[in-house]
Amino acid sequence: MANNVNPRRNNIQYTRRKPKNRKNNDAPLRILMLILAAAVCCSVVFLVNYLKEDEPVNELPKETDFQQTTGEKDDTQKQTEDEQTTEKPVETTPPEPIYVPEFKADLSEYEMYMNPQGEQRDAYLVLVNIDNPLGSDYVPPDLVNVKSTRKDGRATQKLREYAAKALEALMLEAEACGVIKKNTPSGYPLSVMSAYRSYDYQRYLFYDVYLVQEMNRGLSREAAEKKVATYSNRPGTSEHQSGLCVDMHTLPSAGQAFKNEAEAKWLAENCYKFGFILRYPEDKIEQTKGIMYEPWHFRYVGRYHAKKMYDMNMCLEEYTEYLKNNG
């Protein structure tokens, strides 16, 4: 019979060893591993960023690009398209082309005078008549000699600079077109008889010359004044004081017979090209305040306005009223 030995029974005591605290022993190692891992991550991030600097940057697609590919539209785009479909397009007037006629003579150096631009374009559109008088002390600031003054002993006439230069161009072109000739009723070619007149000189002509002539023909003073007012303006109401008009013809003295001369017909048809208008047309007596037809009286306004008046068949009174109503 075997003996079962029981240590406890034999009072033999065994002591069990306590396990070591590994957690405390592993702490330094874990800290070291974390430091190494962090260093590796930082190195990887730095390396990736360094490599990307040499690569082209691809921009993200814009919202509009995305909308075009997906067919979707945001609220702002829809609102803009709705406004475009409901609002009327703004009408814009294209700039008016500058009209430059063809000439036989070389008038390039005179173009700025015939067709002034900028502020000068409207500077000569001055209406002078019985309703729009000039002051008795008005004298144009830039009077110059008129080269085409008739060479019959009269004083050299004067005009404002732009009008005088434009008139020079007109005479050069008239000569190139064969209009200037010596075989005329007066024996003088087309030439200027009168241009600028002062207030005092216009008063002298009206009262001391024309009025006296009509009264000597048997008219009363009142009747004589009415008669003179049809072919001469009272002082202050004459365009001659403006320095912008000329009386030019081929007759011994001004007369309506000039309309039958070739020079008069050429002037009436072509004067607008040089910036002049026939101031008192035959069919505008009512509009010009009763001034009779004067085929010898031409007024400078500049080509821009002269052509418009020619195309619309308007005298200066009609045209200024037209501009006032139409801007």
Q: Which amino acid is at 43?
A: S
Residue recorded with tokens 């090209």: 273
Edge to edge, the sheet with strand 245-249 lists 191-194, 245-249, 297-300, 276-278
- Catalytic (active site) residue 294: yes
- Interstrand relation of 191-194 and 245-249 (parallel, antiparallel or unpaired): antiparallel
Tell me the C-alpha distance between 118 and 296, whole Å: 30
Active-site residue (options: 173, 214, 263, 294): 294
- The residues annotated as belonging to the active site are 294
